[in-house]
Amino acid sequence: MDFDPLRRAKAYPYRIPRKSYLLADGGHQALPADGPLPDLSGRWPVLAVGSNQSPEQLSRKFSPMNGNAIPVIRARLFDFDTVYSAHFSNYGSVPATLQYSPGTTVTLFINWLNDQELDHMHGTEAVGFNYDFGRLEGIRLAPDHGPALDHAFAYVSRRGCLADNGEPIALAAIQAHGRRWPAFSQEQVLAYMRDRLCQGQPLNEFVGQIIADEMIRRSRVETVEADSQPFAYSEFSPFEF
């Protein structure tokens, strides 16, 4: 894993495999295409939209926990796209969220989490502060392993989608067919935010301030959140915590 803070910020959403896998013991193992589906009983199908698709990020999040392997299943989600949220993470990245996008099919993963793992994930997602957790109904979700699903659970940004000239900005690192909006890499979106908030400042200095100073980070989030776009899908029901 990379412990250089600036490099970690710019590398989001990290390496995303091309196949479904099992996360266990700080590593991961690809699921064979013709192999049996892992036991999913008692587990929640939680959409992994950004870095939660990456074994690197999941290993970082779940390293303190000892438990069973977590199935991480690749899937296609119809009529949605992965876009940037209108906030910064505490490690300096502009993270991801979902947005309704009729005609777009985005490739993502499903984290199948048990109750303990889900509770732990809530803490890493700042539920109630940066994200709402809830149930998406009436969707078309086609996993590489197992039957299609018409519902799933997701973390949706409370800050809204980062908008440029009224349009969300998609993640270039995430595959999508029929994408309607411009797509930026993480370094491109950080530069865009720098130009918008602190034009002329060296990018590494701008990102370093976000990592090091919570007050600066919150002030910059308030600025970009002011003209963000809300999640535009009506069949999302947030949980109360």
Q: Which of 150, 54, 57, 53 is nearest to 110 (CA)?
A: 53
**CA-to-CA dists, residue 49 to 41, 110, 170, 235, angstroms:** 22, 9, 11, 18
In tens, the pLDDT along 181-205 reads 999 999 999 999 999 999 999 999 9
In tens, the pLDDT along 150-159 reads 999 999 999 9
**Tokens at residue 24, please?**
């266990």
In tens, the pLDDT along 20-70 reads 999 987 789 999 878 788 899 999 999 999 999 999 999 999 986 666 799
CATH number at residue 176: 3.10.490.10
Which residues constitute the domain of residue 162?
5-238
Q: Is the peptide bond before 55 cis (omega within 30 degrees of 0)?
A: no
Average pLDDT over residues 220-240: 96
Domain tally for the chain?
Answer: 1
**CA-to-CA dists, residue 171 to 57, 155, 174, 184, angstroms:** 17, 16, 6, 6
Q: What pLDDT sits at residue 55?
A: 96
**pTM, rounded to two decimals:** 0.95
